Amino acid sequence: MSRIGKRPIELPGGVDVTLSGQKVEVKGPKGTRSFTATDDVTIEIGEGAITVTPRGASKRARQQWGMSRTMIANCVRGVTDGFRKELEIQGVGYRAAMQGNVLKLALGYSHDVDFTVPEGVTVSTPKQTEIVIEGIDQQLVGQVAANIREWRGPEPYKGKGIRYKGEYIFRKEGKKK
């Protein structure tokens, strides 16, 4: 039995859910998200909650059960609260600034890095050393954060680079004479 799949998904006020076949469409204050489940699960909309149950006892049905419930719960959370990732930049001369739809990063290269922000995600820079990524799609927000971090990941000797806020970087000692 899936412990995650058994729990119903509570629907907060202001969220409308429609079910057509295996496609769940969630509308909320921040936008619209949809998820199409496989035929291995049954989705039911009840009084203020959505329940997901497996069709049969096959291994695939049990795998899809918890995953489908989590994906629908992420859609509900995305249209109500949204998702947010915060990045920190550490290093002398490393900075970030938004110019229109382009994030300009100075990361110690001979040129500035221009990162075009994709549709469905908003990026802001409250300080020169902080980047905040927000959106209603958890996968897209995480992917944009990973793509920005990829330009200069934190190195283990001085800790310079782009890191997630609160991320611990294992530090190495370096050479000794």
Q: If the chain, 177 residues long, is cut into consecutive pieces of 10 residues, what is the mean pLDDT of each piece?
A: 84 91 93 93 91 91 92 94 95 93 94 94 95 95 95 92 93 87
Q: Give yes or no: residues 56 and 18 share one domain.
A: yes
Q: At what angle do helices 59-80 and 138-150 cross, to 10 degrees?
A: 80
Separation of CA 102 from chain center: 20
The phi and psi torsions of 37 (rounded to 5 degrees) equal -85, 160
pLDDT, position 117: 95
Residue span of the structural domain in which 31 resides:
3-80
The pTM for the full model equals 0.87
Q: Give yes or no: residues 107 and 128 share one domain.
A: yes
Asked whether residue 170 is domain-assigned, the answer is: no
Asked whether residue 17 is domain-assigned, the answer is: yes
Q: Give yes or no: residues 41 and 8 share one domain.
A: yes
Q: Give yes or no: residues 59 and 11 share one domain.
A: yes
Q: What is the CATH number of the domain that holds 88?
A: 3.90.930.12
Going by C-beta distance under 8 Å and a sequence separation of 6 or more, which residues neighbour residue 87? 130, 131, 132, 133, 145, 148, 149, 162, 163, 164, 165
Q: Give yes or no: residues 34 and 23 share one domain.
A: yes
pLDDT, position 3: 83
State the DSSP code for 117: P
Q: Give yes or no: residues 99 and 73 share one domain.
A: no
Asked whether residue 145 is domain-assigned, the answer is: yes
pLDDT, position 175: 87
Into how many domains does the chain fold?
A: 2
Q: Give yes or no: residues 24 and 10 share one domain.
A: yes
